[in-house]
Structure 1
Amino acid sequence: MSIKKIIKRIVKWVVLPIIVFSLLITITYLIKPKLMEDIAIELLYPKVTIAKEYSDSYKIEIPKMYELMYIACSLTETFQNDSNLISKRVPKYLNDVKSHFSKFKNHDLIQVLEDKLKPNPYSQIQPTIRFFSLNYEIDDTNTLVHNEVFHVNKLLIKLFKDKLFYYAEYEDLIEDFAKATDFSKFYKEHQSYYQKLITDFDQLCDIKVSWNFLENRFTESYNSYRIIFSPLTGGFHNTLPGLKDKETGLQQTWLFVSAPPNIEIDTLTKDELEIIKSKFTRELFTEMNHNYVNPLSDTFSKSIESSIMDYSDWNKQKRGYNSKISTFNEYMTWGVFSIFAKETYSEKNRDTIISIQEKFMVENRKFIHFKAFNRELIRLSNNINDDDLHFQNIYSDILKWMRKYPNPEN
């Protein structure tokens, strides 16, 4: 066979299909970019290295690099103008931060962060600031040390680069800020405070009980949790589920949440402690819960779409949850917490605990039909023995109820 014929065959069977496939991908991306992004994320989902200390356990942390970046974010105008981004629970620590760092508010790192955050601080920019911070340590000389545990495919980074805070571009700037502020000295001086917050967190949050409840009632399963916060973290929480270690096959989930409330635990009565624990546990639970509810909701996506005529009929939020499925998932995650509360807390306090959550969802978060939804979910769960309760068996009934609401007799 001649060289010419071989080249023609290669073009016909190899090069041409590649070109056609590439064109199809490009056209699909132009028509439906969200679909292609979702496919890319699924195919190239980040992986992690899970240290032995995390295996089959959870760990509560205030990582050094995470804290540096949160302090830097707290100096931006965007953070300072939004009470949901900075916690009000730690006034003394916030004053310490202002006293030590405010004179550096014009540092170039702060301007870069402001430029990134200002258009939409609730976009993927802030979560990626959190995620990628865990790939770094800072030594006592304020030098950055790369310690990659969060492995992201370079193609995924290239595809989403404009939506990320890409640390590789800003390492020198971050290190300069750490050195200029002598961040390591500040962090070391507050070690006892950080440890107290971690201890209080563990005492006030029923982490293991929550984890066991969710694993027993959903099909998803995770081998470990990293629970990460800064004393400055406000109400904007997020989670990154199902990060696999390619060496061991284990799965780890990261939870980014707020610091515990500023209270003296020893001064509380038994009932006061239980109610406060329920409030704080709910904060973690409803973030952890997304890692179980969301995958289950995906299997009911068509039914969810047909059961909610307009998400704004259920959700009067001014930002976020601007779809039927995200609105439903928020209803469901908080509703599942009520089932957890019914099983976990004392008979004396459980009605109070559930009512507190309902009021907060309706009045503060503007999920206006949550109380009715929640009561129906509880009614449905009451028909199932606690040991046999699996939420996939409730979805069809709660969605049927939503289709008829507010006229359940029709």
Structure 2
Amino acid sequence: MKTKFLSAFALLLSFTISAQKVNFMEEFKKENQGKSTVEVNEVKELLIIMLAITDFGLENDDMFEQKGDYYQRVLKHFKTYKDEPIIKKMDSLLMKNPLEYIFFTGNAQTYTLKNDILIPSKIYILPADKVANVKIEINPITTYKTEIEAFAKKSHFTDFYKSEKTFYNKIISDYEQFSNLRRQWNWLEKNFEQKINSYIVYTSALINGLNYTGGYENNNFHLIEMVLPTIQKEQGRSEKNNDAFNTRSMFTEIDHNYVEKPSVKYKSELNSALKDREKWVNTKTYGTEYYPDGFKVFNEYMTYGVFILYAEEIYKGDAKLLQEINNEVNAVMVERGFIKMKEFNEELKNLRNKNKKKKIDQLYPELINWCSLQ
């Protein structure tokens, strides 16, 4: 039986980036201004594969996608190397703290791989330095650089990665065709005061429930990174419902970066308004401990609530689809322990309908007041 170690917690994580951990030089800014890109990053794929073949990884299909031909190809090529010392070390780290997955994969862009040698990046220094309440000072890829290089060489990772290029290109083209990133980006920039310079999506067919996002601000340039599963087309869903499902996975990563900025302005009011956590979260549900105060609880409600506002506009006129979207969002959030999602969504929609010309930032005072009266 698979260990559903992260099932509740893994629906959404965000890490906070310190400005000194990246170095956005002028050339980088010029190349990326106004652009969104999708990438199956080589070093990230190497690290995900290494983590996936640990005993921990093999027993956690909520963290690693274990359906499909690609996973079988990975196992066929790499499982024979699962007893290598670096894999055993990664396994022990994951057993102590599953967030090590993010500290490895979230720092993958700090290196490129050339002739089985990891070459340091001049742009990314230590982007994933904090997740929830856990902070690191040293890049684990740097710590285990020699061992990771040895694994890449011994397992002929580069040959495998090159042989899968057609598959990776299809993943990227599916994102570009079906993710509607530009539509989401435009909507959020129109409806919030926050502005973002560039987006990058890192994806892999091995990513399942553990998705995360990070924001990087340096040298007057703001880049958003998202680490997400591949585009999904689930059986039993209509084409529009699949579109909405894939949109939600991305949107609820993107809008963290818009929702949180006005929340900071009202942090003390939020902590006061939602001080009785048991009214807002089922504290017995695993994962809710990562939202210890009113500020973080509100942000999580707002992240999914704003997706509902987006859906109400984008899918306007399709009452059936909108009902499906509302029901699914409410059910997912309640399952995660956010027990007042339905009421929160209804109040947010009411405020939006009364103030259609206002930025969503401007709805916060009334919404916070409503929260305080619950």
**TM-score category, normalised to shorter length:** 0.7 to 0.9
Confirm or deny that 1:101 pairs with 2:78: yes
Q: Does residue 1:119 correspond to 2:117, yes or no?
A: no
- Pair 1:226-2:203 in alignment: no
Q: Deviations over 1:128-171 (max 9, x none)?
A: 322321122223x4333333321359x99xxx985654322211
SS of the residue 1:69 aligns to: helix
Distance across 2 between alignment mates of 1:41 and 1:242: 6
Q: Partners in 1 of 2:227 and 2:148 — Cα distance?
A: 21
Runs of 4+ in 1 over 3 A off after TM superposition: 40-49, 160-165
CA 334–321 in structure 1, closer or farther in 2 if over 3 Å, else same? same
Match among 98, 103, 115 for residue 128 of structure 1: 103
Tell me: CA distance 1:287–1:76, structure 2 relative to 1, closer, same or farther (3 Å): same
The aligned residue for residue 67 of structure 1 is 45
Shift of 1:325: 1.8
1:2-33 deviation digits (Å, cap 9, x = unpaired): xxxxxxxxxxxxxxxxxxxxxxxxxxxxxxxx
Please report how far the alpha carbon of residue 374 of structure 1 lies from its aligned counterpart in structure 2 after TM superposition. 0.5
Superposition deviation, residue 216 in structure 1:
1.7
State whether structure 2 residue 248 is matched by structure 1 residue 238. no
Determine if contact 1:47/1:152 at 8 Å carries over to the other structure.
Answer: no
Which residue of 1 is the match for residue 9 of structure 2?
A: none
2:366 corresponds in structure 1 to: 397
Distance in 2 separating the partners of 1:315 and 1:83: 26
User: What is the percentage of aligned positions where both structures have the same residue?
Assistant: 25
For structure 2, the 5+ residue unaligned runs are 1-15
SS where residue 229 of structure 1 aligns?
A: strand
Alpha-carbon separation, structure 1, partners of 2:323 and 2:234: 23
How big is each residue's C-alpha offset from its partner over 1:99-151, in whole Å with a ceiling of 9 and x where there is no partner?
Answer: 111111111221222232222213xx333322321122223x43333333213
Give the aligned residue type for 2:97.
N
Contact 2:212 2:226 in 1 (8 A): yes
1:138 alignment partner, one of 106, 109, 113: 113
Partner of 2:34: 56
User: What SS does the corresponding residue of 1:255 show, helix, strand or coil?
Assistant: strand
Structure 1, gaps ≥5 residues long: 1-39, 406-410
- Larger mean Cα displacement after TM superposition, 41-50 or 320-329: 41-50
What is aligned with 1:366? Answer: 337
Are the structure 2 counterparts of residues 314 and 115 from structure 1 closer, same or farther at C-alpha, using a change threshold of 3 Å? same
Whether the 8 Å contact between 1:87 and 1:233 is mirrored in structure 2 is yes
Q: 1:66 to 1:106 in 2, by over 3 A?
A: same
User: What letter corresponds to residue 135 of structure 1 in structure 2?
Assistant: T
- Supply the distance in 2 between the matched residues of 1:41 and 1:263 (Cα, whole angstroms): 34
Distance 2:17 2:123 in 1: 18
Corresponding residue of 1:325: 295
CA contact (8 A) 1:55 1:223 kept: yes
Contact 1:61 1:226 in 2 (8 A): yes
Higher RCO (Cα < 8 Å, 6 or more apart): 2
- TM-score, normalization: structure 1? 0.78
Contact 1:224–1:251 (CA under 8 A) maintained in structure 2: yes
Alignment of 1:289 with 2:263, yes or no, is no
Equivalent in the alignment of 1:339: 309
User: How many Å apart are 1:213 and its aligned residue?
Assistant: 1.3
Alignment root-mean-square deviation, CA: 2.6
Instruction: Specify the code of the residue in structure 2 equivalent to 1:297.
Output: S
